[in-house]
Amino acid sequence: MKRIALLGMPNTGKSTFFNRLTGAGARIGNWPGITVDLLSAKILLGTEMVEVVDLPGLYDLHGFAEDEQVVRRFLLNNPVDLLCIILNATQIDQQLPLALQLRRLGLRAVAIMNMTDEAEQLGIRFDAAALAAGLDCPVCFISAKYGRGFPEARETLRHVLSLDAPTASPTSQTDFVADEALIAEAEKLIARSVKMPRVLEYGLSERIDRFALHPVLGVPLFFLALFLLFQAVYTLGTPLQDGVAWLLEQFRELGLVHL
């Protein structure tokens, strides 16, 4: 049975994509070379049963964090037919170095550009052809949260997996390269394939953070919020407390009348 490994940084929507791809058929399983359990599922992709494995989020294949070591050991000890690289479109400048690092493993891959709806709202635009050429693999643009682009992404996975190519694993730890050249390559690829707005628009949460986390205004705003919270509790709580007390008194008097 062919195997697809889902990889990506934390907060890319990788688990959301996994859930949408596999439905409710996921299970926890043990794998050679690692001591932690991973989520996997068997799905019908076209006419072929395929195993999909959701690997932990990581920032660098060469890192020493536990999740990064788990991913390395999994790839070394378990043959993979296709890497499905999940990227956060709103943070493409931070995501591409890992994608390029994964591509250097020499395994077949499909890049899934997630959260494209949020990227569009921020004014970020992509040249799909240039990005695919730079990564040397198909690139799909989706919103896993809303399902936009998901059918096309699923079909791309099926098509790439159907092509003749041997199942492979990295041969050694040295295959997990990490160097400054990756960052430079990512910057050049962004310049060719991504159009960023001159001033990145802030979402509502970012606008609130600008004030709430301000080094001067943050503390007064914090105490003001606490004051308003307590005032709201007393302002709303006192009438409610009086109303409950009145109801209890009515029930008590009603009970005494019937004695």
CATH of the domain at 25: 3.40.50.300
Q: Which residues of 5-43 are buried (b: 16+ CB within 10 A; e: fewer)?
A: bbbbbeebbbbbbbbbbbeeebeeeebeebeeebbbbeb
**100 in the same domain as 28:** yes
Confidence band of 44 (pLDDT split at 50, 70, 90): very high
Which residues neighbour 166 within 8 Å (Cβ) at sequence distance 6 or greater?
none
Query: What is the rounded distance in angstroms from the CA atom of residue 242 to the CA atom of residue 234?
Result: 12
Tell me what the mean pLDDT of segment 136-150 comes to: 94
What's the pLDDT at 107?
Answer: 92
Asked whether the predicted pLDDT for residue 68 surpasses 60, the reply is yes
Do 90 and 171 lie in one domain? The reply is yes
Rounded to whole angstroms, how far apart are CA atoms 153 and 135?
16
pLDDT at 248 over 90: no
pLDDT in tens, 144-191: 889 999 999 999 999 999 987 766 566 555 555 556 788 889 999 999
Domain boundary among 148, 177, 195: 195
Contact 168, 106 (CB under 8 A): yes
Range of the domain at 52: 2-195
Structural domain count of the chain: 2
**Stretch 16-27: mean pLDDT, rounded?**
80
118 with 224, same domain: the answer is: no
If asked whether residues 191 and 210 sit together in one domain, one would say: no
Cβ neighbours, 10 Å, residue 203 = 13
Q: What is the pLDDT of residue 250?
A: 81
Q: Residue 194 is inside which H or E element, if any?
A: strand 194-195
More confident residue, 196 or 164: 196
Q: pLDDT tier at 38 (50, 70, 90 boundaries)?
A: confident
Residue 234's pLDDT is: 81
- Burial of 233 from C-beta contacts in 10 A (0-12 / 13-18 / 19+): exposed
The answer to whether residues 94 and 217 belong to one domain is no
Query: Domain check: are 158 and 208 in the same one?
Result: no
Domain end among 152, 175, 195: 195
Same domain? 111 vs 185: yes
168, 253: one domain = no
HSE value, Cβ hemisphere, 13 Å, CA-based, for 179: 7
pLDDT band at 35 (very low <50, low <70, confident <90, very high): very low
Is residue 140 domain-shared with residue 60, that is, in the same domain? yes
Q: What is the pLDDT of residue 153?
A: 96
- Clarify whether residues 89 and 191 are in a common domain: yes
- Does residue 84 share a domain with residue 53? yes
**Average pLDDT, whole number, for the chain?**
85
Give residue 36's pLDDT. 64
Q: Which of 195, 219, 248 is the last residue of a domain?
A: 195
The pLDDT of residue 33 is 52
Same domain, yes or no, for 159 and 240?
A: no
